[in-house]
Structure 1
């Protein structure tokens, strides 16, 4: 499905999200290092596990509200909250207030994402969803090519200017959503009781999520995704600590006598840049290549490549070896992303799609809660020990995905007993 044939809403969001993500990758990968230097790795490891709890609540609430009030108002609220929190981050002079703003940014993004994904599913026929989600992933990762390399300079030397720029770009995106993006949730699909009290609204949404999480297929799918994401999430957690602290400075082109030298921080920026470049260049061809693969096989391939690739990072510190294994685990991450979104778009009933998208974010939020344990344990375990734990998470996800596809994965009866 060519971009010129896309709905206007999707075009606006593609441009806006691509611009913001370019700035996102200039600051986010360095937060674990920043908080580690400011507060100590022991405390930073614990602190990095807390924001996902708030993100979890934001995702569940955002998904439920997207079904009750529509996609557009929820997206506006999430983007506006991020705008304000970036401003607070830029004004802060305390690492603890920085941390508070970081939580707020994550909360705003968590509220935004389920409504955003549900809007794509509203507008795009099922056969084209993998391709559309892959295109969004490509746009989001364009910034991951240059972002980390630039962020290695700007985040540590011009942090306030960078954060103010993020706030401004998001404010412009909020304005674009307000004036250019139209609501996609049909009035007949909206949950009833829009005028109910806040207490009743929360009670109804909690009951709805209780139904979703009692869905055995969805529960196994969620658990498998949590364990699969822990290795992938190390890119901006333990991998940053490992490369900056364990990988020595070395020439970029060791076979040349006048090769430029890269510091440990430079090497980390190059690894992140390579990860983003691979996404930009290959996610659409890879998605097309795998479009006839069964979802089960794609999930298993993803867990295997990301687990083995991440584990191999601990085997050697030579620069080009690190580049090679970066390619391996990046392909594991790459093949997973569009299939995950298309799976839940297909599985979720249309009138409860926002709630299922919100519940689907349990994978990322709980995974983000567990992933920093590697930074915490790095005070006591060797790098190879940490990477062995990461590989263990990937192997558990493989077992769970095998179990998932032995179960019935047809659309379930929904919260009010209907089927779509």
Structure 2
């Protein structure tokens, strides 16, 4: 899908999310360190388990609202909430107020995602959807790469100024959504805001809606498989960081004659993560195009296998260049999976429940992020080969669940899913 043919909604949001993601990643990676300094490590560890749990409910609420009141209103509400929370953070007189603002920003982001993804699905055809999702994923990861580098300067030395600029950027994005973004929810397209009273938000109805969704057995298995993948992939920031810090000692990265540039420990981990971010930015769109003729089933299975073996092979080496090779393998799994997973849900979900399916789909990341840190505790009793073997086992089990899931999908629907790839 060529840029010039994109709907204005998509163009505005691509630039908006690139900018807001960049500013988000200028402060987010440093929050664990900040809270550890002001509250102590034990208290900070407990406090940081709460946002992922609240994010689960925010994701579900965002999906419900996206299907009830519309994508645009849900996005506008979440961005407005984020603007207020950034302002509260900037002018906060207390670390506890900082923490409340941090939670609010996270909940606003979780609520935004289902409506955002549903709007992309509303505005694209099945054939175009993978590439568009891949483009948004690339923009997000540009922010992931640039944000921490800039944040290491601005968050540490100019925190108030950084948070104030974040507030302004969120406000500008909210204004752009208000004036430039149009509603895409099929049942509301073409209707005026005055056509009737807005639907009443009902927790009971929301719970009933999601109960029906999770009774969809193939979708429930999809969520379970995704949780296993998420647990594995999130070891990039968890167990892999610990493994590299403790086992990858200082060694030459490049050398020429008597001169050499050496890395090890934390610096080696930084280089590995930098490679991951660089590969995502440079190759998301090319990989999406290379695999556009692959079925969703084959792509999801291959990505799980690449995740697992990318991590597993790390157990057999502490050589930085071989670890780069392992990182390349598991990053390929990430690049293959992400646009396919988003595109699959948009095709599988009923049109009138697309936002809720998107919100429910995000549970795999929220639950995976909540369970993944257990690998750190496990490493105190299990050798690296054992931990990496468990990660491999989870990845392969997710691949088997994907095989089972596609066998459960009704033949007619499965035929439609395959036809659009």
| TM-score (structure 2 length as normaliser) | 0.86
Pairs within 5 Å for 1:12-411:
12-32=12-32, 46-91=46-91, 97-156=97-156, 158-187=158-187, 195=198, 197-198=200-201, 201-244=202-245, 246-255=247-256, 257-262=258-263, 264-408=265-409
The secondary structure found in structure 2 opposite 1:405 is helix
CA pair 394-27 structure 1, distance change in 2 beyond 3 A? farther
Bigger Cα displacement from structure 2, 277-286 vs 150-159: 150-159
Counterpart-to-counterpart distance in 2, 1:125 and 1:109? 26
Alpha-carbon shift at residue 54 of structure 1 (Å): 0.7
Counterpart-to-counterpart distance in 2, 1:148 and 1:320? 24
Alpha-carbon shift at residue 212 of structure 1 (Å): 0.4
CA pair 91-411 structure 1, distance change in 2 beyond 3 A? farther
After superposition, give the CA deviation of every residue in 1:281-304 in whole Å (9 maximum; x if it has no partner): 111111111111111111111111
CA pair 397-96 structure 1, distance change in 2 beyond 3 A? farther
Bigger Cα displacement from structure 2, 255-264 vs 81-90: 255-264
The secondary structure found in structure 1 opposite 2:369 is helix
Counterpart-to-counterpart distance in 2, 1:166 and 1:318? 40
After superposition, give the CA deviation of every residue in 1:32-72 in whole Å (9 maximum; x if it has no partner): 55556766666655544432211110111111111111111
The secondary structure found in structure 2 opposite 1:253 is strand
Alpha-carbon shift at residue 380 of structure 1 (Å): 4.9
Would the aligned equivalents of 2:307 and 2:333 in 1 still touch at CA under 8 Å?
Answer: yes
Counterpart-to-counterpart distance in 2, 1:145 and 1:41? 27
Counterpart-to-counterpart distance in 1, 2:241 and 2:152? 12
Counterpart-to-counterpart distance in 2, 1:264 and 1:139? 30
Would the aligned equivalents of 2:58 and 2:110 in 1 still touch at CA under 8 Å?
Answer: yes
Counterpart-to-counterpart distance in 1, 2:264 and 2:87? 31
| TM-score (structure 1 length as normaliser) | 0.87
Counterpart-to-counterpart distance in 2, 1:261 and 1:231? 29
Q: Report how many residues are paired.
A: 409
How large is the Cα RMSD of the aligned pairs? 2.9
Partner in structure 1 of residue 417 of structure 2: none
CA pair 38-57 structure 1, distance change in 2 beyond 3 A? same
Counterpart-to-counterpart distance in 2, 1:299 and 1:344? 12
Alpha-carbon shift at residue 226 of structure 1 (Å): 0.8
Which consecutive unaligned segments of at least 5 residues does structure 1 have?
Answer: 413-420
Bigger Cα displacement from structure 2, 214-223 vs 179-188: 179-188
Alpha-carbon shift at residue 348 of structure 1 (Å): 0.7
CA pair 286-74 structure 1, distance change in 2 beyond 3 A? same
Bigger Cα displacement from structure 2, 134-143 vs 20-29: 20-29
Partner in structure 2 of residue 415 of structure 1: none
Counterpart-to-counterpart distance in 2, 1:28 and 1:247? 26
After superposition, give the CA deviation of every residue in 1:170-206 in whole Å (9 maximum; x if it has no partner): 222122112211111234579x9955654xx221121
Would the aligned equivalents of 1:82 and 1:108 in 2 still touch at CA under 8 Å?
Answer: yes
